[in-house]
Structure 1
Amino acid sequence: MLFDGESLARQFVLLTRALLESGSVAAVLERVVFAARALVPGADLVSVTLRSDDEAFHTPVWTDRVADDLDQLQYRFGEGACVEAARPGGPGMALSDDLGTDDRWPRFGRAAAEVGFRSLVSTALLPDAVRPRLSGALNVYSRQRNAFATEDRDVLLLLATHASLALATTRAVRRGELEAEQLRRAIDSRDLIGQAKGVLMARRGISAEEAFDLLRRTSQDMNLKLRELAQTVVGRREELDLPDLGGR
């Protein structure tokens, strides 16, 4: 999906508003990763790496669980773009156009290529962070080789700035706090999605599996987070024209 300058500006206005209004750094980081997936044409998966005060790496937010799995491989091997960019004093951006042949990260690169991911770019977050603030990286994976053009990297630098501001304005974001917030949001999302499935099942006479598939496909078609779509379905159940929600 291509965005013009006006669309990009609108996306960043929304992110800035979220940064100013949100009481949760996890919520801001989640908005950043989904914005990255929407704004960068080659992006298939997006995640955030944080380096906690015990110097361990972890992934508090992602667009798909596979992104977390790929991040974990980098943490285990001690190599990869997100590990390099997340280290204090590391590069502002680390990029591979072909992970399968990149001799800088042979173990991780081969493992990523084997599951179909060829390009990775990671942009540093708070590279000069001093405890208890956390350094980290915004990571974007693609199934294509040479996936990220110069303008894509510029967009990611701007998104990383928003994520960095969210981290910088939080006095002490520790791993446990982010994990607790992530768990709470996951539970809330599960409840909302369950309610939305119930609405669709009742209105359209479909199974739970078909209702979830309809929600998933519609969220992808509309470039909308599944939780936000579920909230709309539940909140407007009496007025939504449900047969037009993505089709069957």
Structure 2
Amino acid sequence: MAPETDDEFPAAELSEVTRLLLKAANVAEVLQRVTDAARALVPGVDVVSLTLRDGRGRLHTPALTAPVAEELDALQERLAEGPCLDAALISGASFVESTDLAGDGRWPAFGPGAAGLGLTAVLATPLVAEGDEHAGALNLYARHRDMWEPAVRGVTLILAGHAALALAGTRARDRAALTETNLRRAIDSRDVIGQAKGILMARRGITADQAFALLSRTSQDLNIKIGELARALADRPEALDPPR
């Protein structure tokens, strides 16, 4: 969809994004730059991720702007419902969107789960490419949003197109490396996050879910990855102690 006015459409910024993408060393860098660009160009968006679905239907997240995106993908895969799954199953220039995840009847389990992580709105668009091997979606999440403007849809479509073209040009080995790298990162991050959760549970007397919610909330507030926050907490267990 085209934006309603030229003023709403960041043409110069998108041109610069295209220039930077052409300089990317590999497809993983292209995908990360696409997600970073979406986060920078769309006001009010808090989390951006790029989700891919492999031949067995499993999701992985090779590019993201906040660690909570991996939690959202894992939640959708576990519940077998959610906007990323829906978007990855369709083709063409279309959208799966909501501004009330907690009350959206399409995802009765995922919606409240996402809202519990502090996100109330989503805009997902499929990666337009040939064949199921490139099935995926570019996903924009927001904590507070009343609507998704036409200009936002236009920017999202262009960026999703860049990501799809990058994927279409990769060899099978490169695509496998994306999954492998993401899996290794997820395992490493999960280990240190588990350690940090244990520290918070012991020091604050809270449950595992409460400990993760605290880590996720602090990660977003400080704009740092949850894995980095968890490592800092492991080094300094008193870092998140409440003020006396």
Whether the aligned pair in 1 keeps the contact of 2:101 and 2:122 (CA below 8 Å) is yes
Q: Which has the higher contact order (CA 8 A, sep 6+)?
A: 2
Q: 1:119: which partner in 2?
A: 121
* 1:89 shift after superposition: 4.5
Q: 1:70: which partner in 2?
A: 72
Q: What does 1:209-220 correspond to in 2, within 5 Å? A: none
CA deviations over 1:142-173 (Å, ceiling 9, x no partner): 01142422211111111111111111122326
Counterpart residue identity of residue 47, structure 2: L
Whether the aligned pair in 2 keeps the contact of 1:84 and 1:94 (CA below 8 Å) is yes
Q: Report which stretch shifted further, 114-123 or 143-152.
A: 143-152
CA 1:18–1:170 in structure 2 vs 1: closer, same or farther (change >3 Å)?
farther
Counterpart residue identity of residue 67, structure 1: A
1-structure distance, mates of 2:120, 2:59: 22
**Unaligned regions of 5+ residues in structure 2, if any?**
1-5, 187-218, 226-244
CA deviations over 1:64-96 (Å, ceiling 9, x no partner): 101111121111111111110112558821001
1-structure distance, mates of 2:173, 2:158: 21
Whether the aligned pair in 2 keeps the contact of 1:84 and 1:91 (CA below 8 Å) is no
Seq. identity, %: 46
Whether the aligned pair in 1 keeps the contact of 2:91 and 2:127 (CA below 8 Å) is no
Q: 1:94: which partner in 2?
A: 96
* 1:123 shift after superposition: 0.7
Q: 1:25: which partner in 2?
A: 27
CA 1:176–1:170 in structure 2 vs 1: closer, same or farther (change >3 Å)?
closer
CA 1:7–1:123 in structure 2 vs 1: closer, same or farther (change >3 Å)?
closer
CA 1:147–1:56 in structure 2 vs 1: closer, same or farther (change >3 Å)?
same
CA deviations over 1:118-154 (Å, ceiling 9, x no partner): 100101003x5325x3110000110114242221111
**Unaligned regions of 5+ residues in structure 1, if any?**
187-215, 227-248
1-structure distance, mates of 2:8, 2:146: 26
* 1:38 shift after superposition: 0.9
CA deviations over 1:46-67 (Å, ceiling 9, x no partner): 0001011232111111101011
Counterpart residue identity of residue 139, structure 2: N
Count of residue correspondences: 187
Q: 2:142: which partner in 1?
A: 142
Whether the aligned pair in 1 keeps the contact of 2:21 and 2:33 (CA below 8 Å) is no
CA 1:62–1:106 in structure 2 vs 1: closer, same or farther (change >3 Å)?
same
Q: Report which stretch shifted further, 15-24 or 39-48.
A: 15-24
Q: 1:55: which partner in 2?
A: 57
Q: 1:110: which partner in 2?
A: 112
Q: Does residue 154 in structure 1 map to residue 167 in structure 2?
A: no
2-structure distance, mates of 1:56, 1:34: 24
CA deviations over 1:99-127 (Å, ceiling 9, x no partner): 0110010100011112221100101003x
2-structure distance, mates of 1:112, 1:6: 29
Counterpart residue identity of residue 32, structure 2: E
1:106 alignment partner, SS class? coil
1:46 alignment partner, SS class? strand
CA 1:107–1:172 in structure 2 vs 1: closer, same or farther (change >3 Å)?
same
Over aligned residues, Cα RMSD in angstroms? 3.2
CA 1:100–1:15 in structure 2 vs 1: closer, same or farther (change >3 Å)?
same
Q: 1:130: which partner in 2?
A: 131
Q: 1:167: which partner in 2?
A: 167
